[in-house]
Structure 1
Amino acid sequence: MIKIKIELGGSDRVAILFSFPNNKSLGWSLEETVVHWINQTLTRDGYNAAGLPPVIVAEVEISGGNVTLVLSSEVDLAHVLTRYQAIIPKFLEIGWKAYSTVVPILKKEGRWDPRGKGWRFFLPLGLPMLNQKTLQFFHYPPIKMLQAMQDYLDDPVPHRLENLLMVNGVSDRADAQTYETIVDGAPIAAPDDEGSAKCSKCDPEWGCIPIQFFMEYQKGMVELLLHESANCPGYTLPIVVYGSHPRKIFSEQFLGGDMVKVNVPVCAEIVPGLKTWIIGANHPYNFYWTAQADSDPEKGSVGDGEMNLAHCASPPSEGGKSAVDLMQGDLITTRWQKDMAGNPSMDGNMVLRAAQAHWTNPENDNMRCALTQSQATLLYTNKEQTTFTFRVGVEDAAKACSDNENKTCSFKV
């Protein structure tokens, strides 16, 4: 038996860092909460598997008000446990510094939860920390992933990206989740619409989410989780940056203000001495909004299970993109992400051109149509919008596309 101990700090500090209690109705103890998130990381790093005895066992001890994480294994994984022993305290320390230095400023200035929506401090828990294949830079985590699901990836946005990765050659959903080590620009769990909401106390440039206050946090988390490639010395994992506010803050933080654009790869030195390929992307939620929603709620809303044909085929606003355009662009992005993860030393521009050629090939029209038609049927299955499905599966959508000559958005399914 190999066993290591990782000191996490005092109970009050650990409770904040693990957003305890995640959900009061669960009745979980602090120990159970910490174990829950650590077990998700162990699974997504590939050491444990659902339905099988764990290869690495996580336990939590509290003594004298101090919390200790104990990792043990009957397999010779001393090198793995040692890596967790190094990275977990650094991860938590970066989070603690953000909570203890930035959050008080936001509260004092009235920037914390200006609309009274019940914000929570929430670090990117339960994601791969050792064996991730890419890094994803987003805006902020939806609060339901903390309070309802206790899972950073149980949401229509990561679920959609996983589907696109699998279409591009990733073997299954578990493998797709190794591409989803996320750094959010702001570690704030908030409602889905908080990023685009406006109010008198919100910044006119950045909106309600004060992402611009967390630049030290962003730098620390990205540098900690952006590992050097095991196969390509001198290169790190590739990064995908999603959405306009994340692309703007990421560009200011790491690229000297040169805006990273959608599907325009750039190579930069994020970690001293290493090269990193980066690509900008549309926020995956944009597809759902464009395919389903309407300015008139009676005509459509995200998660109602129905495609909005008018928005699907043409941009909903001047300068916008149609759902078809967004799907095409997102498929290209995820193909680039998957291929660059396999070899981060490749020329990112050549990889992008190959991805564009693949998804503009007429042979792939049916799959592109099927994905658009299927994902446009996102359906929340409870009023709290915490559970969801796609009303029409990809196979049924593909048949309907064939019957309609793959003229996406010309029909409903």
Structure 2
Amino acid sequence: MILLLLTVVPVAAFTPWARNDSAAYVFRDHVTGVLEKRRRKLDALRRKGGDAIIRDAVGRGLHWNALGVAFPRDARDDAFEKFAQTVVAHQPVDRAMLRHDTLAGRRLTAADHDAMRSERRRLATVDADQIGATGDDARNSRRRLAAHDAGRLDATGAAIIDDWGLSFENVTRISLKAHAALGREARKQNLTAGVVEATLLPGDVAAWLASPRLRAALDAYLGAKAYVRTRIGALRLTNRLTAPYSGAEPNLLGYPSGFWHHDRCGRRVKAFLFLHDVKADGRPTLIAEASHRTHYYEYKDLLQSRFSDEYISSNYDVVQLVGPRGGGFLFDTNTIHKGRSDGKRGRTVIIADFMDTRKLYTFKKLRYRGPCGQHRTVKMGGEDIACQSWCRR
């Protein structure tokens, strides 16, 4: 009789918004009320037969946890679209993220492939001039590097670059420009905190932006001619930096990037150039590996994008992005990440952001101020596109 009862009682579908899931977030008091609203919506959906939608999507490979939903690599399926529309895509911004990053994906056109072939031929010639290799050798080397870097981005959310291919002199020139800009910014704001940021011009880092390895990896991951550069800046973390916030309660007044977070813009690539060796004790960037495929439950609310150390370390493999001077890394800013605030050494880096062109203009149309630093956009190797500032730093 007991066995019969066990087979008859239905098993409730997994609820990702349980009361204790607020522990996954830094700002627990704020999120507790949000989770309660989500539970009520989910209960209403289930009363209308929503469990079948959820079970169907989960059976086809969907995963979800306290932070968001992870769709399978090939998510072009009616079950996933129906799940997204009924469970996680309630706001225009959410639907835009799904349309550009998750459900629709981006299939390269014939024109894209032609452009990539043309660019590879040009880069092969540049490589041959620089290293004395034959065109075929340079072309094959560039293809291998592009495939490796884009493959690491796709698999884990980040790719460590041991060498961007810049000369010692070029790194030195870029470093001098960066330190001068950071010094001016620090004096202007009379900063004594542990973080200094300064905007740079494309000409300040032209050698890096023209790096064949950078361009090839971006083409392979975002699609040739499918993206724009949205920001170039220098960042310095000093030994004054001790914690992501000050005071007994968490807040965003100190170093908000010191919390585990995503950048609230879905799929986007940040490239870093190390101006000196960056080691484990030098306040490196940390990532929660393979979290970049997550469609988060909320993008507009900044407080819901900050996650607790305990939850991330318990549910993801944490990787630190370190390397030598002249190297750096690429990472998808949809990956959960943070800048390490403690350490024995400071860190000074150059950062450039790259985003899908169509999504950028969708955000502008929606007046969405998610990703920071979008003050203007500049095409790779093309002319400047004038854009009004639509995002606060």
Q: Shorter-chain TM-score category?
A: under 0.3
Scaled by the length of structure 1, the TM-score of the pair is 0.24
Tell me which of the two structures has the higher relative contact order, counting C-alpha pairs closer than 8 angstroms and 6 or more residues apart.
2
TM-score scaled by structure 2? 0.25
